[in-house]
């Protein structure tokens, strides 16, 4: 119920608090005898250091913050897993917050974490985020920050992501090589860098293969690229451009919407129209037809981000200079039945 303190151990043993503290922390200048006594009593009383006091003294919380756009999401939940795995190794705890894809929330969450004085922050930006003052607040506050997945290239901190542009480029080249010629793109909203990059990759691939880029074949997913976006845009594209033979979707979830609509309306995948997703959600191998997609190694992204963050936290503690890193995790195409 009430936690024992160094003071209690000290008084029970008739020695000073200092000696108890030293004994428990394995300092050399404690006689083996007292050391043993202290450790025994501590164990017996079930002593654990009061983290509040330790935090206050050391100015470290052994806690990091993680802000993600949304939790109920295959990719992000796997990222979290990767982060937790690294945190665990270092006895760090992770406070998880959602931005719900809203800039306003994102700002608020940052404030909460900064007030809590977490040792570092890991975050993936919301789709709305188009200015970065709040991120600079973190930086000027001296709190290490690592951006992952949905990053802002202009912000001066470490970043972990995939090369969305290249991944999309390769994906569309792959479609072209398979013989598809009239390829639509269901793109994400205009602010997130990865949405922009995937679009640019798509466009470049067409151009490099001498296919005229046609902006009317690009459909916007403005519901945060969800299932509904895919479904609605599939309906639209069929009405407006029945001649297309493939769709490259910004993410698997959108692709699932497309598949649903095509299955309902009897459009055959991939014979009539091929569908290519992005991210390799768990469900991609289960839907009918199984979705071809690009893997986006969430665990690795979470893991690497955390490793970099913990490195920077350590460097900062030692007042060592920090060199920001920008890491790109490799991706590849997973060919299934939909292309």
Binding site for DNA (CB under 7 A): 3, 5-7, 14-19, 21-22, 24-25, 28-31, 33-35, 47, 49-50, 52-54, 56-58
The distance of closest approach from Cβ of residue 118 to DNA in the complex, given in angstroms and rounded to an integer, is 16
Nearer to its own copies, 14 or 266 (CB): 266
Q: Which of residues 189-228 bind its own copies (CB under 8 A)?
A: 227
Q: 156 φ, ψ to 5°? A: -85, 80
The distance of closest approach from Cβ of residue 302 to DNA in the complex, given in angstroms and rounded to an integer, is 30
- Angle, helices 298-317/74-89, rounded to nearest 10 degrees: 40
Question: What distance in Å separates the CA atoms of residue 237 and residue 256, rounded to the nearest whole number?
Answer: 15
Question: What distance in Å separates the CA atoms of residue 238 and residue 264, rounded to the nearest whole number?
Answer: 13
Cα distances from 223 to residues 188, 202, 247, 282, in angstroms, run 9, 21, 18, 21
Region of 11-19, 108-116, 164-172, 187-195 interacting with its own copies (CB under 8 A):
108-116
Pairing of the two strands 120-123 and 333-334: unpaired
Residue 142 interacting entry, from DNA, its own copies, none, C-beta within 5 to 8 Å by type: its own copies
- How many CA atoms does the CB half-sphere of 210 hold within 13 Å? 0
The distance of closest approach from Cβ of residue 308 to its own copies in the complex, given in angstroms and rounded to an integer, is 21
Give the helix/strand (H/E) hosting 52.
helix 51-58
Residue 30 interacting entry, from DNA, its own copies, none, C-beta within 5 to 8 Å by type: DNA
Q: Which of 51, 156, 268, 326 binds its own copies (CB under 8 A)?
A: 51
Nearer to DNA, 58 or 326 (CB): 58
Q: Classify the phi-psi angles of 334: left when phi > 0, otherwise alpha if psi is within -120 to 50, otherwise beta.
A: beta
Q: Would you say 38 and 19 are in contact if contact means Cβ atoms under 8 Å apart?
A: yes
**Chain positions contacting its own copies, by CB under 8 A:** 1-3, 48-53, 55-56, 59, 61, 63, 71-74, 77-78, 80-81, 84, 91, 93-98, 112, 114-117, 140-142, 227, 256, 259-260, 263, 282-283, 286-288
């Amino acid at each position: 119920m009430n936690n024992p303190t160094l003071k209690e151990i000290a008084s029970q043993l008739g020695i000073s608090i200092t000696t108890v503290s030293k004994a428990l922390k394995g300092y050399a200048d404690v006689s083996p005898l007292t050391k043993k006594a202290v450790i025994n009593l501590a164990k017996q009383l079930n002593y654990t250091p009061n983290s509040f006091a330790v935090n206050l003294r050391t100015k470290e919380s052994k806690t990091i913050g993680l802000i993600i756009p949304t939790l109920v999401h295959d990719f992000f939940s796997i990222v979290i897993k990767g982060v937790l795995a690294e945190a665990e190794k270092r006895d760090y705890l992770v406070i998880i917050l959602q931005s719900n894809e809203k800039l306003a929330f994102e700002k608020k969450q940052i404030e909460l974490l900064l007030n809590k004085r977490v040792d570092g922050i890991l975050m993936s930006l919301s789709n709305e985020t188009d200015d970065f003052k709040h991120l600079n607040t973190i930086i000027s506050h001296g709190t290490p920050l690592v951006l992952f997945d949905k990053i802002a290239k202009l912000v001066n901190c470490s970043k972990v992501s995939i090369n969305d542009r290249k991944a999309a480029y390769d994906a569309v080249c792959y479609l072209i090589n398979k013989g598809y010629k009239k390829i639509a793109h269901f793109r994400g909203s205009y602010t997130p860098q990865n949405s922009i990059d995937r679009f640019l990759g798509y466009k470049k691939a067409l151009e490099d293969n001498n296919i005229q880029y046609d902006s009317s074949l690009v459909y916007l997913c403005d519901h945060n690229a969800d299932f509904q976006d895919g479904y609605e845009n599939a309906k639209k594209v069929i009405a407006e451009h029945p001649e297309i033979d493939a769709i490259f979707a910004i993410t698997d979830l959108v692709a699932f919407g497309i598949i649903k609509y095509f299955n309902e309306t009897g459009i055959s995948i991939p014979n009539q129209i091929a569908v290519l997703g992005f991210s390799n959600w768990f469900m991609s191998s289960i839907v009918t037809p199984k979705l071809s997609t690009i893997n986006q190694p969430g665990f690795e992204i979470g893991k690497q981000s955390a490793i970099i963050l913990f490195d920077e936290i350590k460097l900062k503690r030692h007042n060592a200079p920090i060199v920001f890193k920008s890491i790109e995790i490799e991706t590849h195409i997973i060919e299934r039945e939909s292309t």
